[in-house]
Amino acid sequence: MKIQQLKHIYRKTKDILTQGWMLAGLVVVILLPFVIGLGLYLKSHHIFTQYNFWELIGSTEWKPLSGKFGLYPFILSSLWITLIAIVIALPVALLSAIHLTTYAKAWVLKWVHPLIDILAGLPSVIYGIWGVIAVVPAVQSLALSFGIKVSGYSILAGGIVLAIMILPFILNILIEIFKSIPIELTEVTLSLGATRWQTVKKVILRKAMPGIISATGLGISRAFGETIAVLMVAGNVVKIPTGIFQPGYPLPALLINNYGEMLSIPLYDSALMLAAFILLLIVLFFNILGRYTIVRFEKSM
């Protein structure tokens, strides 16, 4: 009787303990983004003793030695590069996703899928190197044909490389979205006398629209934070880009190029931490936007 009871207590404690470990694991996962965000904020908030937030974001001058920490050129460069990347990647992804899910034979999708995954899995430094040897010279000669003499290291080069990097990512989401649209919807639309193109344009795209917006949001958030490849081709000159052939200096590049150096300069590390914090906020914003529309999309289906 005693032993039975002991056994019971032992088993029950074990049960509670294992459940506890699982819960602990979950708590760690949930807390991580907040801890990271909080850490960045704590490290950066010293700078607010001397400057206010909008001053830092709006100012164009970045001269740490004389205490000027304007983040505007970096934010603008990042926005430009991201915009170019999305403008290039989205139409390509959209068209190929529609083709793969509505026109192509089933085996094509089966073969293309792993190919997309390979593209998505390539280390970003490979895209960077490829950008340096292929995209940068191409941009240079393109600019030359407009009569502009530049090195080719530019926000356009950054945008193109980034577009190629986020393409498989967006494409994968879009394929899933178009696959989730039932074939019967196409069938009934065709039976009303619509052509294939009318069906795609008026029904399928409309049905997929929230999903397309999500994919774009998630694509932007990924593009915004991408570091190495963009850093290698964007030129990294601190000034407000005046055209797509001009060099830019995206936020992640600022961090990686400067963190760890000259941190004895007052407030320098705070400024960099603030840059990281802003980066985190922007990426989070687009991520949440993307997820939110996906949730709404699933409800409406």
Nearer to another protein, 15 or 187 (CB): 187
For residue 236, the SS3 value is coil
Contact predicate 251/74, CB 8 Å: yes
Per the listing, tokens 């490979």 go with: 126
Applying CB under 8 A, which of residues 182, 243, 260, 266 lies at the interface with another protein?
182
Closest by CA to 89, choosing from 172, 145, 153, 146, is 172
Report the half-sphere exposure of 255 (CA within 13 A, side-chain side).
20
For residue 193, state whether it binds another protein (rule: CB under 8 A): yes
For residue 189, state whether it binds another protein (rule: CB under 8 A): yes
Applying CB under 8 A, which of residues 60, 195, 263, 298 lies at the interface with another protein?
195
Determine how many CB atoms are found less than 10 A away from the CB of residue 266: 13
DSSP annotation string for 218-232: HHHHHHHH--HHHHH
For residue 254, state whether it binds another protein (rule: CB under 8 A): no
Hey, what are 34's tokens?
């907040």
- Rounded distance, CA 297 to CA 207, Å? 9
Applying CB under 8 A, which of residues 203, 229, 234, 276 lies at the interface with another protein?
203
Q: Which residues ranging from 69 to 88 are in contact with another protein (CB under 8 A)?
A: none
Smallest gap from residue 94 Cβ to another protein (A) = 17
Applying CB under 8 A, which of residues 176, 187, 261, 298 lies at the interface with another protein?
187
Smallest gap from residue 199 Cβ to another protein (A) = 10
For residue 298, state whether it binds another protein (rule: CB under 8 A): no
Applying CB under 8 A, which of residues 202, 257, 265, 284 lies at the interface with another protein?
202
Smallest gap from residue 294 Cβ to another protein (A) = 16
Nearer to another protein, 189 or 236 (CB): 189
Smallest gap from residue 187 Cβ to another protein (A) = 5
Q: Which amino acid is residue 128, in one-letter code?
A: G
Question: What phi and psi values does residue 260 have, to the nearest 5 degrees?
Answer: 100, -15
Applying CB under 8 A, which of residues 59, 124, 198, 258 lies at the interface with another protein?
198
For residue 114, state whether it binds another protein (rule: CB under 8 A): no
Smallest gap from residue 220 Cβ to another protein (A) = 25
Helices (H) and strands (E) in the chain, counts: 13, 2
Nearer to another protein, 198 or 287 (CB): 198
For residue 197, state whether it binds another protein (rule: CB under 8 A): no
- Rounded distance, CA 215 to CA 208, Å? 10
Q: Which amino acid is residue 183, in one-letter code?
A: I
How many residues contact another protein, by CB under 8 A? 22
For residue 188, state whether it binds another protein (rule: CB under 8 A): yes
Hey, what are 107's tokens?
């085996």
DSSP annotation string for 150-198: --S-SHHHHHHHHHHHHHHHHHHHHHHHHHTS-HHHHHHHHHTT--HHH
Nearer to another protein, 105 or 149 (CB): 105
Which residues form the interface with another protein (CB under 8 A)? 105-106, 182-195, 198, 202-203, 206-207, 300
